[in-house]
């Protein structure tokens, strides 16, 4: 990428969003069980196994659907709050498998404050026979779609600030010849400070400079 992410950073609006409005509802995941070797913690989330490295404490479920399950957690080594996304049965469908691989490749190749940061992918216990993938990313409070549908008051400064950050993200990925192809409010994550990041690169494509303008972002 050719764009310096520190240049032209917009000023945040003077009115922050309500933390109580932007925070996702908490759903307790209960106490984990520890693996025999002490390397893994296993939680039960919606009746299914949610298995993470032992240095992560999972605190609540923040998202659930066909795309996978997302839980909020804490890296106990650094005390950093993270989001942990489980994608189950990643080899069951070829198209879904390619989409997951594409997203991981994009997130590992970009670095920008308005792009969701992939902190790590958890290493499977059995590399020859695993079926689930766990991605650890930055944790934000909500997606923009839920904010728009809530009673949260959005003023013009909020809209301008969100748009400025979104345009920075688009300019950055386009400088790397990447097109997102699925930009919508539910793929824009925000927090109470009005920081915004673009996520879900499963439909993204890399293109050459000559064909970039022919794509819809």
Question: Which residues are part of a known binding site for ATP?
Answer: 86
User: Could you tell me where the DSSP H helices lie in 74-206?
Assistant: 94-109, 144-149, 156-175
Residues in binding site? 86
Q: Which residues neighbour 18 within 8 Å (Cβ) at sequence distance 6 or greater? A: 152, 192
Length in residues, the chain: 217
Q: How far apart are CA 103 and CA 180, in angstroms?
A: 10
Q: Is 132 a catalytic residue?
A: no
**Which residues lie across from 12 on neighbouring strands?**
none
Q: How far apart are CA 199 and CA 166, in angstroms?
A: 11
Both tokens of residue 56? 């992560």
For residue 211, which of 162, 178, 167, 163 has the smallest C-alpha distance? 178
Q: Sign of dihedral through CA atoms 104, 125, 87, 187?
A: negative
Q: How far apart are CA 147 and CA 179, in angstroms?
A: 25
Catalytic residue among 75, 96, 182, 195: 182
Q: Which residues are catalytic?
A: 182
């Amino acid at each position: 990428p050719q764009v310096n992410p520190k240049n032209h950073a917009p000023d945040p609006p003077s009115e922050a969003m309500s933390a109580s409005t932007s925070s996702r509802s908490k759903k307790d995941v209960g106490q984990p069980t520890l693996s025999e070797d002490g390397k893994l913690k296993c939680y039960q989330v919606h009746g299914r196994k949610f298995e993470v490295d032992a240095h992560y404490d999972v605190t609540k479920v923040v998202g659930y659907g066909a795309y996978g399950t997302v839980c909020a957690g804490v890296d106990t080594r650094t005390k950093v709050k993270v989001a942990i996304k489980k994608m189950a049965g990643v080899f069951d469908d070829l198209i879904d498998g390619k989409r997951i691989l594409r997203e991981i490749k994009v997130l590992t190749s970009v670095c920008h404050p308005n792009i969701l940061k992939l902190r790590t992918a958890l290493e499977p216990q059995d590399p020859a026979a695993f079926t689930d993938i766990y991605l650890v990313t930055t944790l934000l409070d909500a997606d923009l779609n839920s904010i728009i549908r809530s009673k949260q008051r959005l003023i013009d400064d909020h809209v301008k600030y969100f748009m400025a950050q979104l345009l920075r993200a688009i300019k950055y990925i386009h400088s790397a010849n990447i097109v997102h192809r699925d930009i919508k409010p539910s793929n824009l994550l925000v927090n109470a400070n009005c920081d915004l990041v673009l996520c879900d690169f499963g439909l993204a494509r890399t293109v050459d400079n000559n064909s970039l303008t022919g794509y819809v972002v």
